[in-house]
Amino acid sequence: MSVIDPRIEARWKAILLDEFKKDYFKELKQFLLQEKRHHIIYPSGKEIFNAFNCTPFEKVKVVILGQDPYHAKGQAHGLSFSVPFGIKPPPSLTNIFKELKADLDIPIAESGNLTSWAKQGVLLLNATLTVRAKQAGSHQNKGWENFTDAVISSLSENKEALIFLLWGRFAQNKTSLIDSEKHHILTAAHPSPFSAYSGFFGCKHFSKTNEILNKNGLETIDWKLQ
C-alpha cells in the first residue's frame, strides 16, 4: 500500500502523523478510493483538508464543529457550515447569519463562504470529512470520526484557552475530548431549522467568543464576511 501523504498544513501533518499511519486511516483511504471509482464524492480531493490548511494549528483560537459535509453539488469545500462563493447559503447557515444579526447587528451576508473566519483562527471542522453525493451521512463510521476525535484531543492537549462552539447533540457529545479546565465550551442547539428555535437563536455565541478572546488578550474575530 502506498504511503499516505495528505496535502495538509505542515504543523497539522506533524501532529497528526501517527493517525495517518494507523490501520483505520489506511482502511479509510482504501474505502475512499473504492467510492471514487463508483460515485461522486464531496468535497474535491484537494479540499478535504481545507479546514486545516485555512487554519494552521498555531492560529486556532475557536473551533466550530459540524457533522457532515454538504452533499449537494457545489456546496462542500472542506469548511463546516460554509459554502463556496456563488452558492446559496443552506438553511443552517442562514440561521447562523440571523443569529449574527441579532447578536452583533452584522448584516445578513449574501455569500456563505466562511473562509475569512477560518483565516482568523476559527477551525471549521466537520466530524466526517467526505460524503457521497446526495447521500447524507454516507461516509460516517468509516474512520473519519477516529481522525477528527484525535484532532479535537490534540487541540485540547496542546493548546490553551480555546473556545469550542458545540451546536447540537452530536457536537456536544465531543465534550469528553476537551479539557474544560483549560478551554471554554459554549453549547447551544443546532442552527438547523428543526432546532434553531430551541436554543440556537439567542445563544449570543459570537459576542461571547469575542468577550473571551478580549479577556485573554487575543485579537477578536471579525465575524462580518469579507
Residue 84 CB contacts under 8 Å (≥ 6 apart), including other chains: 74, 75, 77, 113
Identified catalytic residue from 5, 18, 23, 68: 68
Kindly give the residue spans of alpha helices, DSSP state H, lying in the chain. Answer: 10-21, 23-38, 50-54, 91-104, 115-119, 144-158, 169-172, 205-215
Whether omega for the bond prior to residue 43 falls within 30 degrees of 0, making it cis, is yes
| DSSP states along 167-212 | ESHHHHGGGGGS-TTTSEEEEE--SSTTTGGGTTTT--HHHHHHHH
**Beta-bridge partner residues of 122:** 62
Q: Tell me, what amino acid is at 180?
A: S
Three-state DSSP class for residue 82: coil
Q: Any catalytic annotation for residue 105?
A: no
Q: What separation in angstroms does the CA of 43 have from each of 90, 159, 173? A: 16, 28, 25
Burial of 179 (0-12, 13-18, 19+ CB in 10 A): middle
- Please identify every residue annotated as catalytic: 68
